[in-house]
Amino acid sequence: MAILVNERTRVLVQGITGYQGEFHTRRMIEFGTKVVSGMTPGKGGQTAAGVPVFDTVSEAVAQTGATASCVFVPARMAKDAALEAVASRLDPIVIITEHIPVHDSIEMVAAACAAGVRILGPNGPGVASPGRCKIGIMPNHLFSPGGVGLVSRSGTLTYEIVAGLTQAGLGQSTALGLGGDPVVGLTFQEAVALFAEDPETQAIVLVGEIGGSAEEEAARFIKAAVRKPVVGYIAGRTAPPGKRMGHAGAVISGSEGTAQAKIEALEAAGVSMVALPARVPEVLRGLL
């Protein structure tokens, strides 16, 4: 099973002819992902990383049966690329690109919601279901198949925790990063709901950070509807208010978005919180 992506997922890479697009397409294929086509306007008919390149998403979908997309298109053109993927009902649409204007993100996410498809990101590392499919830029060697579902906002912190899980013999059903921007598509709550329903996922790891209220919303949902064990970690406890900690979304404004408020909300929902990310595996093992 796993969530969002599996062995049946057929991936189109938008912006495949760029340096990052081509490099990560090769890594995705090595992971076992079925990358069926690429797309770069004006480069239709070429091949990149061994897959055929099309000028438009609709041609790529018609000729290769793509079901999902990975967007490596530069920020200034990313909204157009995402809307094109939405128009062809690709799902999920994983947006790796960072520095997309927030008004563009609002428009993309609204279009995806209206079309009933899911955007993952922007400014995220993507999603991986070990042994089946990876869309994005997460390093391949970290993963092992198993029963832990992991959802995070960030990239390297996800790698850190996935590596720790694998080392401890705890494989993953699916691991995904939601993206570090203020406005992103898929939310913590939606990801947790998918994990809760996935028969293969036995436990959930939620890695949040300061800013916004997505962790608190997930906490309310967990309390009401999740019976699987959940382990949580929140990054940014020591961040001062009003300062942007790298991620555009990681900024505490007023009383909203503090690490303390998130930790309290998750603890009240029965989530086992850890103080340091390296402690996730031992706490998780105690719950399984």
Partner 1 sequence: MKLHEYQAKEIFARYGIPVRNGTVIERPEQLDGLEIPYPLVLKAQVLVGGRGKAGGIKLAATPAEAREKAAQILGMTIKGETVRRLLVVEAAEIGAEYYLAFTVDRAARRLVAIASAAGGIDIEDVARATPEKIVKHHVDPTAGFHPYNAREMGRALGLGGKHLLQFAAIAHGLWRVCTEMDAELAEINPLAMVDGSLLAIDAKLIIDDNATYRHEGLPRNEELTELEALAKSQDLACVELDGDVAIIGNGAGLVMSTLDAIAHFGGRPANFLDVGGGATTENMAQAMSIVLRKSGVRALFVNIFGGITRCDDIARAIAAQPPAVPMVVRLTGTNEDEGRAILEAAGIHALTDPESAAREAVQLAAGAR
Catalytic positions, written as ranges = 247
Min dist. Cβ of residue 192 to partner 1 (A): 15
How far is it, in rounded angstroms, from Cα 75 to Cα 218? 29
CB of 96 to partner 1, least distance (A): 10
Rounded to a whole number, what is the distance in angstroms from the first to the last CA of the chain?
A: 20
Q: Choose between 132 and 247: whose C-beta lies nearer to partner 1.
A: 247
Query: What's the min distance (Å) between Cβ of 132 and partner 1?
Result: 20
- Best CA proximity match to 74, nearest among 104, 40, 97, 103: 97
CB-wise, 195 or 233, nearer to partner 1? 233
Site of interaction with partner 1 (CB under 8 A): 75-76, 99-107, 109-111, 114, 137-139, 152-160, 163, 180, 182-184, 207, 209-214, 217, 233, 235-240, 243-250, 254-255, 275-278
Residue number with CB closer to partner 1 (163 or 168): 163
Residue 1 or 102 with smaller CB distance to partner 1: 102
Least distance (Å) between residue 189 CB and partner 1: 10
Sheet arrangement for strand 34-39: 47-48, 51-54, 34-39, 10-14, 68-71, 93-95, 119-120
Q: Which residues contact 231 (CB under 8 A, 6 or more apart)?
A: 203, 204, 205, 206, 271, 272, 273, 274, 280, 283, 284, 287
